[in-house]
Structure 1
């Protein structure tokens, strides 16, 4: 991959996580690239229709073009068509936030969401859709790691990083803490965490398995404010979460995306 292409994609990825825009100086500092190079890359992306200027050129943000391409791609795969009704049903049953993530190469990416909370405290994950889940601190990441050997799980975490900016105080901070969490998760059959991904947030997650190969291809999770989503309340959701993971597994047969995973 050329250096120019790498720099352009790093800009796109950063701007995708900062939808309100960033200045050239902020981008330069965050990405460790000279401001002059950042400006050239932004101008190129602007000409291609992927970036636009805000407040008379002081900040830059992504246009809707990239989002439209992503939605078009997902629509062609039939991914949302087959999974959204299942996510919506679980959200209605639990009145909490439901998310689905799928394995994409070395990453676990959030691709589906349904908000069951109608009022009161709620967590809005809109900025995380399409982003890579953090293995060590998210319930989805822990659920997936628990299907691996200790050695493979540790390798995944070390490659991504044990910690991330903004993670909760309850996230595992050492290899031994991570292994303890994975051991408990394997015995339980699904993950539970509190104040891990974020302080004040609790979540539980199950792995979704390919109905043909039996291999994991994603996760489904329930998340909400820790004061409401207590351990006792999560216990009552266990069977519903398990049923949703099985339904998503079967529904994957109807999506073009999952068919190529069976090869």
Structure 2
């Protein structure tokens, strides 16, 4: 009796599943056993095992030990970093970030816009000792509860902002911070505040014990949004008063980065224009 072809086993289905595995593992730096990966993408464990084996063979994933968890290797991150470096984005940004990090003594990060996503692409650590918040680059910003996400959404209408959040999903308080907004009404309040101030402030929303402030980066020639710049640090040090003091420095850095937009050809969006699928 001929075998029934497994649903989604064609080339397109295999590619989508493989990319989904990479996305899932990127959110679990400690790794995941293969059966949890299978449950997450809702395919048979045998098929999951084959896809993971191929990723291991190509060097994108490694298994911690026999029958252990699967984790991403640095090869995945290196692809994105090589791309950004080839276009000069991180090289041109870095002096601005380094200077701001030195002035504020906290973590400074930049996102760039990739269609409807914000991707962290560069950072500078200003904390010289004690508590340090220092996540990896390459993460996608959670729009509903990160200062970067709220800063970007504040440049849009409430309707557009809520639609983008609902597309990505609200960040749960268990996974993110205890003050992460859970409703459209709560997000609208934060967006109104960000529009009034010119920057978004979050207190233990993206991560417990951490506060942050972010502002949009706009291309200097036409005002188009290209990304965000943020300062983040422990809440005992980066207080609300401290963030207010740092806001002018942050806004000035955003303006300086905005002048680089045409040079590095950052991804941009403009009302009435189709959005680019890639940033080149």
- TM-score by shorter chain over 0.5: yes
Q: 1:78–1:257: 8 Å Cα contact kept in structure 2?
A: no
For residues 45 and 113 of structure 2, what CA distance do their matches in structure 1 show? 35
Q: 1:199 aligns with which of 193, 208, 216?
A: 208
Q: 2:194–2:201: 8 Å Cα contact kept in structure 1?
A: yes
C-alpha displacement at 1:256, in angstroms? 4.5
Task: Say how many residue pairs are matched.
Answer: 261
Q: 1:251 aligns with which of 236, 240, 260?
A: 260
Q: Does 1:118 align with 2:128?
A: yes
Q: 1:224 aligns with which of 233, 243, 257?
A: 233
**Stretch of structure 1 that moved more, 165-174 or 98-107:** 165-174
User: What is the SS of the residue equivalent to 1:228?
Assistant: coil
In the other structure, the counterpart of 2:80 is 70
In the other structure, the counterpart of 1:148 is 156
For residues 131 and 224 of structure 1, what CA distance do their matches in structure 2 show? 17
Q: Does 1:170 align with 2:170?
A: no
Following superposition of structure 1 onto structure 2, how do residues 1-263 of structure 1 map, counting pairs within 5 Å? Answer: 2-126=12-136, 129-164=137-172, 165-257=174-266
For residues 197 and 81 of structure 2, what CA distance do their matches in structure 1 show? 36
User: What is the SS of the residue equivalent to 1:162?
Assistant: coil
Deviations 1:105-159 (A, max 9, x none): 1111111111100111111212xx2121111101111111111011111111111
User: What is the SS of the residue equivalent to 1:198?
Assistant: coil
Please, which runs of 5 or more residues in structure 1 have no aligned partner?
A: none
For residues 31 and 102 of structure 1, what CA distance do their matches in structure 2 show? 28
**Stretch of structure 1 that moved more, 16-25 or 244-253:** 16-25
User: What is the SS of the residue equivalent to 2:247?
Assistant: helix
For residues 58 and 279 of structure 2, what CA distance do their matches in structure 1 show? 35
Q: 1:101–1:218: 8 Å Cα contact kept in structure 2?
A: yes
For residues 86 and 73 of structure 2, what CA distance do their matches in structure 1 show? 21
Cα-Cα RMSD: 2.1
C-alpha displacement at 1:57, in angstroms? 4.6
